[in-house]
């Protein structure tokens, strides 16, 4: 019987290899040539699994977002509690999430010259913002969130806080630690509970 | 008389070309080969002016930081007024500063695989944080800044806000506009004036 090739498994393997190359050397280190070599493929064979580097990097992005999302999808409650869980999930708090932030940064860099990649990120951001808004509205209904700052402003603030935290944990690690960004999240949440 | 070569001018020209390549296609588009071609040099001749791509990209970073700093170095007062001017300078508010943010992002991406580049950014950050702290202390001495949040936390918050704003203006432009990030700066400054 001929051996069946598991295409999904090979695609995952290619994403593993690309992930490691990005973490070690950034977006520039993850060339098609290098990915093929590390994955054990002939140079042109990658194209059977992914049509372009952009598509492979999208695969690493999806994985990074699953790591972030894994802190959100579990049953963590609604309103303010849900918002805290979501905020914590999006912050770089351990090795796995800092690495996911690194891969996200490489994706961001590449996406600025690739409209499809940028649209994909904005679609993710749209869902993310909708989730934040839902938790804010629940928190108001529960009487936990009482600040006079409008919800739309609060959504922006949390997005800027988490994006800034991800970046600064990578490029300003001398100052920005996991403990510190968590403290800022608590400051933000504390403000929501004050008129 | 032999024509004198103006080395500084050539270095500036190489940085111009690299800047444009980064803005158009990101860090990956700015290859030594492409920079040389666009600058009108033979392939190996770039090395007479810069020993490596990292050094050229450092040149674009220095220029981006000069654009940001140009809003700070003028006489804009002390304390809260100085802090507002510094915050505004660091936010992506017009074409020039959004473009500077784009170049900074490419620098960040490359710096994560280059210790010297990372150190250079952290040195910049150190000066920047010291300036924020000075304005905060002046603002307290003037009686304008009265929040009970410690100054060190306030420094972090402003850094995370401006870093997040720079990123999101690029990758989430559907949501994050110049008006919006300026509004967030004003919210932040407003909090400083309340106990």
pLDDT confidence tier of residue A4, bands split at 50, 70 and 90: low
Contacts B28 to A, Cβ<8 Å: 27-28, 110, 113
Distance from CA of A180 to the nearest CA of B (A): 8
Q: What integer pLDDT is reported at residue A181 of this predicted model?
A: 93
In angstroms, the CA A138 to CA A145 distance is: 9
- Domain encompassing residue B2: 1-51
Q: Which of A149, A171, A184 sits opposite B108 (nearest CB)?
A: A171
The overall average pLDDT reported for chain A is 92
**Same domain as B78, residue B35:** no
pLDDT confidence tier of residue A69, bands split at 50, 70 and 90: confident
Yes or no, beta carbons of B159 and A149 under 8 Å apart: no
Yes or no, beta carbons of B161 and A163 under 8 Å apart: no
**Same domain as B169, residue B91:** yes
**Same domain as B78, residue B21:** no
The residue-averaged pLDDT of A160-179 equals 93
Evaluate whether residue A93 is within a structural domain: yes
Closest residue in chain B to residue A123, using alpha carbons only: B172
Yes or no, beta carbons of B161 and A161 under 8 Å apart: yes
Q: What is the ipTM of this complex?
A: 0.92
Q: What integer pLDDT is reported at residue B3 of this predicted model?
A: 61
Yes or no, beta carbons of A170 and B105 under 8 Å apart: no
Yes or no, beta carbons of A105 and B111 under 8 Å apart: no
Evaluate whether residue A2 is within a structural domain: no
Yes or no, beta carbons of A159 and B172 under 8 Å apart: yes
**Same domain as B103, residue B163:** yes
**Same domain as B69, residue B152:** yes
CATH code of A98's domain: 1.10.357.10
Answer whether A26's CB lies under 8 Å from B112's CB.
yes
- What backbone phi and psi angles, to 5 degrees, belong to B147? -60, 150
Yes or no, beta carbons of B27 and A109 under 8 Å apart: yes
Yes or no, beta carbons of A29 and B113 under 8 Å apart: yes
DSSP type of residue A172 = -
**Same domain as B130, residue B45:** no
In angstroms, the CA A164 to CA A141 distance is: 29
Interface test with B, best of A129, A161, A164 (most B CBs within 10 A): A164
In angstroms, the CA A176 to CA B115 distance is: 17
CATH code of B17's domain: 1.10.10.60
Evaluate whether residue A186 is within a structural domain: yes
Contacts B192 to A, Cβ<8 Å: none
- Count of structural domains within chain B: 2
Evaluate whether residue A1 is within a structural domain: no
- Count A/B contacts: CB-CB distance under 8 Å: 138
3-state SS class at B98 = helix
Answer whether B87's CB lies under 8 Å from B185's CB.
yes
Residues A6-30: tens digit of each pLDDT = 888 999 999 999 999 999 999 999 9
Q: Global pTM?
A: 0.93
Q: Who wins on pLDDT, B104 or B195? A: B104
Contacts B175 to A, Cβ<8 Å: 122, 125, 129, 156, 159
**Same domain as B39, residue B124:** no
Alpha carbon distances (Å) from A113 to A171, B21, B26, B76? 22, 11, 6, 37
- What backbone phi and psi angles, to 5 degrees, belong to B136? -60, -45
DSSP type of residue A48 = G
Contacts B157 to A, Cβ<8 Å: 184, 187
Contacts A111 to B, Cβ<8 Å: 171
**Same domain as B184, residue B119:** yes
Evaluate whether residue A138 is within a structural domain: yes
Evaluate whether residue A120 is within a structural domain: yes
In angstroms, the CA A34 to CA A24 distance is: 13
Q: What integer pLDDT is reported at residue B69 of this predicted model?
A: 81
Q: Tell me whether residue B95 is exposed, middle or buried, using C-beta atoms within 10 angstroms of its C-beta: 0 to 12, 13 to 18, 19 or more.
A: exposed
């Amino acid at each position: 019987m001929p051996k069946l090739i598991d295409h999904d498994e090979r695609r995952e393997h290619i994403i593993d290899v690309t992930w490691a190359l990005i973490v070690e050397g950034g977006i520039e280190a993850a060339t098609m040539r290098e990915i093929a070599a590390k994955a054990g493929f002939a140079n042109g064979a990658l194209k059977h699994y992914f049509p372009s580097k952009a598509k492979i990097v999208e695969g690493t992005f999806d994985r990074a977002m699953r790591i972030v999302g894994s802190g959100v999808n579990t049953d963590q409650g609604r309103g303010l509690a849900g918002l805290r869980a979501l905020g914590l999930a999006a912050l770089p708090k351990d090795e796995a999430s800092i690495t996911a932030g690194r891969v996200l940064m490489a994706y961001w860099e590449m996406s600025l010259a690739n409209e499809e990649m940028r649209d994909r990120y904005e679609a993710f951001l749209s869902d993310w913002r909708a989730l934040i808004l839902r938790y804010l509205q629940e928190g108001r209904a529960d009487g936990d969130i009482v600040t006079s700052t409008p919800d739309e402003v609060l959504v922006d603030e949390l997005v800027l806080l988490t994006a800034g935290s991800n970046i600064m944990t990578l490029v300003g690690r001398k100052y920005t630690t996991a403990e510190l960004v968590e403290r800022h999240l608590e400051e933000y949440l504390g403000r929501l509970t004050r008129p």
